[in-house]
Amino acid sequence: MLQKYFPHYLIILSISFWCGFAFGEDNPEHEYRQGQKPVVCTKKPYNEVKAEFANEYGEVGMIRYKTTLPSIVEVLVNKDKGTVTILEFLPSANVTCVISDGGELEYNSIFGNNGITT
């Protein structure tokens, strides 16, 4: 099974070194601090990246919003499997980054009331 996915892992690792890593800096004036987090980016067209996640993981867009950068953030989910991926598209650089992925998805079925309990 490792042999089947090895090329994917190698590509992701290569891209992460090509794009660098997102490192936060300590700021003693603020209570919140960013930690080290690898971010994987690609120059592939945004729609192609979304299609890959749809085909490979069955994840489709659930939420999309524009940030003040400006960039576009989209949350892709597979409701049946409980997986989630968060993409960020940076139009100025024509780059799409995977900023988070995971599983055990929970969502508020009564949106707007109390949110997801932590």
User: What pLDDT, in 10s, does the model give residues 83-96?
Assistant: 899 999 999 999 99
SS3 string of 40-92? Answer: EEECCCHHHHHHHHHHHHCCEEEEEEECCCCCEEEEEEECCCCEEEEEEEECC
pLDDT of 116 > 70? The answer is no
User: What pLDDT, in 10s, does the model give residues 60-73?
Assistant: 998 899 999 899 99
Side-chain-side CA neighbours of residue 23 (13 Å): 5
User: What pLDDT, in 10s, does the model give residues 26-70?
Assistant: 555 556 566 677 888 999 999 999 999 999 999 999 889 999 989
Stretch among 16-20, 40-44, 101-105 having the lowest mean pLDDT: 16-20
Q: Which of 64, 58, 23 is nearest to 46 (CA)?
A: 64
Which pLDDT does position 38 carry in this prediction?
A: 80
Q: Is 113 helix (H, G, I), strand (E, B) or coil?
A: coil
